[in-house]
Amino acid sequence: MTRSGYALVIGGGPAGLMAAETLTQAGHRVIVAEAMPTPARKFLMAGKSGLNLTKDQPLEDFIRCFQIGTGRSAPADLREYLDPDLGGLGPKEVVAWAEGLGVPLFVGSTGRVFPTVMKASTLLRAWLRRLGEQGAQLQSGWRWTGLDGGFEFDTPSGRQLLHPDVTVLALGGASWPRLGSDGGWVSILAEKGVSLAPFQPANMGFRVTWSKPMARHFGKAVKGVAIHCRGQVGRGEWVLSRDGVEGGGIYEMSARMRDGSKAFLDLMPDLTESEVVRRFAKPRGKLSIGNWLRRVLGDPVKVALLLEWGRPLPDPAQASAWADLARKLPMRHDGPGPLCDAISSAGGIRFEAVTPDLELCALPGVYVAGEMLDWEAPTGGYLLTACLAMGRRAGLGAAQRMLGAHD
């Protein structure tokens, strides 16, 4: 049964669409306002080469991959949104939801879950079709501009002022602004007393001022290494670029590196200490340093990194010193890449500013979800799962408030 009044969802990304779906399933009329000409542009771009929907792993391991910004009072982690035993939406529930859209999935060798067609567009089309059938009304090109006297929008047909019963804000963070997540909402909420943490890049590359010899390696993958940073070890691949380093293996460590922790590279992580020393102890003979290192390391990219970040180099005769350097090579960088190029962002609305249902304490009846909030996670399905989970929780809270208002 459709009730009187309506709910407004601002933002047509995964969190907003999930909030809209939750509200329509509860029988409420929903308007989705999206600033861009079409919805979910960042979602589509992220899934262009393969939509990583979630990750098939034990829930405890999944939850441990999330961080929440400092200064929060609650929740201690995102468990209440991700744990199905607490009413949350976890990896298994996301898989069931996607399959319910008629999208077949498969699990990759690392546990990452993808649609069999790989691209995000198939899932998005099915999702929008179902939302339309449930009565959700999508308004594209509607940019939210203010909160005085109602929710004010610039639209293709001029200024619009809406007075919904409840509102869910799902406007994204501040990365990839060209796709719609430009953080333009910050000043609106700050004026209303919402507590905010400054935005920072997350899942980003790091700038490196390379020496000229490194140019021949730009675009090459770094494989078979381990990054150690503040107690965490990452084994993912990454890439050397003209501007620095980027890729999954870097993104996994990016929060710690961004926050000032030193990172070290193990070029021979699958060998014992004694075996590494033994390899460096082989006589160099008349070989140049570069050719000798290629024989020891077996990979020209590893050699290049050792020569780039390992100076001053040890005496060739000191096998143990070379072994130590190869196992703990300092990763020298000039800081994170710009926020606009980051895959996601940290910062935003502090969790102390919202209720457990993600309602803004300063603005009753207004809920928030997704990257607007101050949390972060590595790539690999974590970001999307959490956005869906928080969109659902905000939608449930908004639906319950509407139900109470009309009883």
pLDDT in tens, 375-390: 999 999 999 999 999 9
Share of the chain above pLDDT 90, in %: 88
Q: Average pLDDT for residues 152-167, to the nearest whole number?
A: 97
Structure confidence at residue 261 as a pLDDT band (50, 70, 90): very high
Q: What is the pLDDT of residue 48?
A: 78
Other C-beta atoms lying within 10 Å of the C-beta of residue 381: 25
Structure confidence at residue 229 as a pLDDT band (50, 70, 90): very high
Residue 333 corresponds to which amino acid?
A: H
Q: What is the pLDDT of residue 71?
A: 42
Three-class SS of residue 213? helix
402, two tokens: 């509407």
Q: What is the pLDDT of residue 76?
A: 54
Tell me which of 26-35, 58-67, 69-78 is least confident.
Answer: 69-78
* Residue 38 pLDDT > 70: yes
* Residue 301 pLDDT > 50: yes
Q: What is the pLDDT of residue 397?
A: 98
Dihedral, CA of residue 383, residue 388, residue 394 and residue 396, to nearest 10: -150
* Residue 4 pLDDT > 80: no
Q: Where do you find CATH 3.50.50.60 in the chain?
A: 7-201+344-406
| 105, 201, 212, 249, 250 from 216: Cα distances, Å | 39, 28, 8, 21, 21
Q: Average pLDDT for residues 139-159, to the nearest whole number?
A: 96
Q: What is the pLDDT of residue 42?
A: 92
Q: At what angle do helices 91-100 and 382-406 cross, to 10 degrees?
A: 80
Q: What is the pLDDT of residues 103-132, one digit of tens each?
A: 999 999 999 999 998 889 999 999 999 999
Closest CA to 63 of 80, 86, 79, 87: 79
Angle at CA 389, nearest 5°, toward 201 and 111? 75
Identify the residue whose tokens are 């399959």.
Answer: 99
Contact 43, 13 (CB under 8 A): yes
Domain 7-201+344-406 top-level CATH class: alpha beta
| 17, 65, 282, 285, 287 from 295: Cα distances, Å | 54, 37, 10, 12, 10
Q: For the chain, give the mean pLDDT.
A: 94
322 Cβ contact list (under 8 Å, min separation 6): 280, 296, 314, 316
| 7, 29, 88, 236 from 84: Cα distances, Å | 25, 27, 4, 29
Structure confidence at residue 406 as a pLDDT band (50, 70, 90): low
**Quick one: DSSP state of residue 360?**
B
* Residue 158 pLDDT > 90: yes
Q: What is the pLDDT of residue 68?
A: 81
